[in-house]
């Protein structure tokens, strides 16, 4: 699907992408991307359907709080889709804690929608588990070991040795598009000859 969209954006005459190659994303990266899009979808829902959410949970009057949580979810989603996805996932874990605390406050006995709150609480707990797994996986995958610095002592820049590199460019021919124009070449070749003739003239 992605390469189909990219072909539409290509100019006429550009090569077409026939199929996608293997992805370099690991399982943790794919989970982070899925959670990022989920967070954005949840944030949009909380922003534009706050009244329905509060009515379903028996939390009328908390629409502003739900919308604030929606803005928070949008931020979590954007960061989770960025190169700093580990920050987005750990921030989601912290946000899950706020959601759980808010739902626990709604689990009062006089709430007629207490069953709905229980279902929502179970869903948040499940998503929290996924957030923790994703955050730990992404952090471990992209962490650089500090106790073992990289060593490049075995790299010289000459894979076949220095002796094999000597004289390797003797047969090199300058490509036509890198050569000087004929007129410029004639001028540049004539200049040294004129200087030599001037030196040879008697004073």
**With bands split at pLDDT 50, 70 and 90, how would you rate the model's confidence at 170?**
confident
Mean pLDDT in residue range 161-172: 73
The pLDDT value given to residue 165: 73
Residue-wise pLDDT for 59-117, tens only, equals: 999 999 999 999 999 999 999 998 888 999 999 999 999 999 999 999 999 999 999 99
Residue 179's pLDDT band, with cuts at 50, 70 and 90, is low
| Domain limits, the chain | 27-140
The top-scoring range by mean pLDDT among 83-87, 145-149, 153-157 is 83-87
Which among 46, 55, 28 is positioned nearest to 98, based on CA atoms? Answer: 46
CA atoms within 13 A on the CB side of 165: 7
Q: Which residue has the tokens 């605390």?
A: 101
d(CA 90, CA 131): 7
DSSP the chain: -HHHHHHHHSPTTSPP--S-------HHHHHHHHHHHHHHHHHHHHHH-HHHHHHHHT-TT-HHHHHHHHHHHHHHHHHHTSTTHHHHHHHHHHHHHHHHHHHHHT--TT-TTHHHHHHHHHHHHHHHHHHHHHHHHHHHHSPPPSSS----TT--S-TT-HHHHTTTTTT----GGGSPPHHHHHHHHHHHHHHHHHHHS--
Q: How far apart are CA 72 and CA 39, in angstroms?
A: 9
Percent with pLDDT over 70 in the chain = 67
pLDDT at 161 over 80: no
* pTM check: above 0.95: no
Residue-level pLDDT at 11: 64
């Amino acid at each position: 699907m992605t390469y189909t969209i990219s072909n539409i954006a290509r100019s006429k005459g550009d090569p077409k992408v026939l199929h996608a190659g293997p992805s370099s994303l690991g399982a943790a990266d794919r989970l982070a991307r899925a959670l990022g899009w989920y967070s954005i979808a949840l944030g949009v829902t909380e922003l534009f359907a706050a009244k329905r959410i509060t009515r379903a949970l028996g939390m009328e009057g908390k629409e502003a709080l739900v919308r604030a949580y929606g803005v928070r979810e949008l931020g979590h989603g954007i960061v989770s889709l960025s190169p700093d996805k580990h920050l987005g996932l750990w921030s989601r874990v912290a946000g899950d804690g706020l959601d759980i605390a808010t739902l626990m406050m709604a689990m009062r006995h006089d709430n007629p929608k207490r069953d709905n709150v229980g279902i929502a609480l179970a869903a948040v707990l499940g998503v929290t588990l996924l957030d923790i797994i994703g955050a730990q996986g992404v952090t471990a995958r992209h962490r650089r070991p500090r106790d073992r610095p990289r060593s490049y002592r075995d790299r010289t820049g000459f894979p076949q040795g220095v002796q094999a590199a000597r004289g390797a460019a003797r047969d090199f021919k300058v490509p036509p598009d890198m050569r000087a124009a004929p007129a410029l070449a004639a001028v540049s070749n004539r200049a040294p000859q004129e200087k030599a003739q001037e030196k040879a003239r008697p004073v």
